[in-house]
Structure 1
Amino acid sequence: MIKPINKDQHSLKQVSQPATLADRALAQDLKDTLTANANRCVGMAANMIGVNKRVIIAAIGPLQVVMFNPVLQVKSDPYQTQEGCLSLAGQRPTTRYQKIKVRFTNEQWRPQELTLTGFPAEIVQHEIDHCNGILI
């Protein structure tokens, strides 16, 4: 179901709680909401749709990848960039890493790891920051 975008900075700054198997339905809400905002958004975290759980989605090429309880394992090659966010007005400067390795639970509730570079890595870092209550 398409959900409204949360713009309340107080709630967005709360650290998200770990996702459980009972939270799997969030995947569809995140997919629907990301698709509805695809013209202006490439990823989101569950707290952006009002659910304080560690779940993110990232548009990686043509795929929408949902990650439950994502954790950055490795990050290298820092760089400065400007990012926007559906939950915030304008763009802000931030530091990101060119290459990351992220560990997460997939939609089938199996552990998975991905190594990402470039823009897909930036998207995942932004959304993990949301889970940690960090706003750009």
Structure 2
Amino acid sequence: MIRDICRDEVFLAQKAEPATPDDRSAAADLLETLEHHRDSCVGMAANMIGVNKRIIAFDNEGARMVMFNPEIIKKSGPYDTVEGCLSLSGTRPARRWQSIKVRWQNEHFQVRLKTFTGWTAQIIQHELDHCEGIII
């Protein structure tokens, strides 16, 4: 189901709760909503659709990907950039890392590890800020 985009900064500033297998439908909604906004958005966190759970969905080099309970466990190559967000107006400065190693759970709640670089790494970091309640 395509959900409305949450713009409530008080809600967006809350740290997300851990996701569970019961949150798979929220992840499906997140993917559908991301696809609906594909012309203006490359990633979303669950709080952007009003669900305070640690779930992100993003464009991974042309394929949509969902992560449950993602966390960065290693990072390198800091740089400064400017980002926009569907939940917020305008753009804001952000500090990002060129390379990140992420641990997450897939849709079967199996633990996965992978290193992401470049644009994909930047998208993931933006969405993880959402999970932490950080408003860029």
TM over 0.5: same fold?
yes
Name the SS of the counterpart of 1:25 in structure 2. helix
Give the letter aligned to residue 49 of structure 2: I
Corresponding residue number in structure 1 for 2:85: 85
Measure the CA separation in 2 of the matches of 1:112 and 1:33. Answer: 24
Cα distance per residue 1:106-130 (max 9 Å; x no partner) = 0122111111000000000000010
Q: How many Å apart are 1:35 and its aligned residue? A: 0.4
Aligned residue pairs, count: 136
Structure 1 gaps, min length 5: none
TM-score (normalised: structure 1):
0.98
Corresponding residue number in structure 1 for 2:96: 96
Cα distance per residue 1:46-88 (max 9 Å; x no partner) = 0000000000011011211100000101010000000000000
**RMSD after superposition:** 0.6
Q: Which runs of structure 2 are paired with 1:27-66 in the superposition (5 Å)?
A: 27-66=27-66
Give the letter aligned to residue 108 of structure 2: Q
Structure 2 gaps, min length 5: none
Measure the CA separation in 1 of the matches of 2:109 and 2:63. Answer: 18
Cα distance per residue 1:17-36 (max 9 Å; x no partner) = 00011111122101100000
Q: Which runs of structure 2 are paired with 1:1-136 in the superposition (5 Å)?
A: 1-136=1-136
TM-score (normalised: structure 2):
0.98
Greater Cα shift, 42-51 or 54-63: 54-63
